[in-house]
Structure formats: C-alpha cells, structure tokens
Amino acid sequence: GLKLELETFQNRCLRIILKIFWPNSITNKDLVTKAIIPSVSEEILKRRWKWHGHILRTDTNNLVNVASSWEPQTKTRQNND
C-alpha cells in the first residue's frame, strides 16, 4: 500500500543522494543505516504517537478532540426500486 510506496520513494532518493548505483548492491536496511535517518514508516509512527498524545492532553471541548472522537449517526439506506 501507501507505506510501501513511501519507503520505495525514500530508498530511491537515498540511493541518489548517497550515489549508490547498480553495480554496488546494498540492502534497504543498510541504506537507511548508512544515511543515519529513520525509515519513513518509523517517522510516521513516531509522529502519530506524538499527535495522539497531544490530543489526549487537550481540553475535552477542544474542536480537534471533539472531531477525533466523533462518530456519525448511521442510517440504513432505503432501497428505491
């Protein structure tokens, strides 16, 4: 899915930045380690946790907190034959 596409894009960019091309083969894990940066999926996970912590500490009447806990009222659709 999207996670794989983001990691593929990150790895492609890192290979260009670090000038690692075809005859030199290196695993994606080694590539991220050599670049001394977290993988894009780790960074997204870290930022999500940070955001959730921020939301939990806000006032319960805060618009962001209300919107994140909102559940729509579901209605069954009538079949119009």
- Which pLDDT tens digits describe the chain residue by residue (81 residues)? 899 999 999 999 999 999 998 888 899 999 989 999 998 999 999 999 998 888 888 888 888 878 877 788 877 676 665
Q: How far apart are CA 3 and CA 44, in angstroms?
A: 9
Residue among 50, 28, 48, 49 nearest 39 (CA): 28
The domain spans of the chain are: 2-59
The reported pTM is: 0.63
Q: Which helix (H) or strand (E) holds 68?
A: helix 63-68
Tokens representing 70? Answer: 């909102």
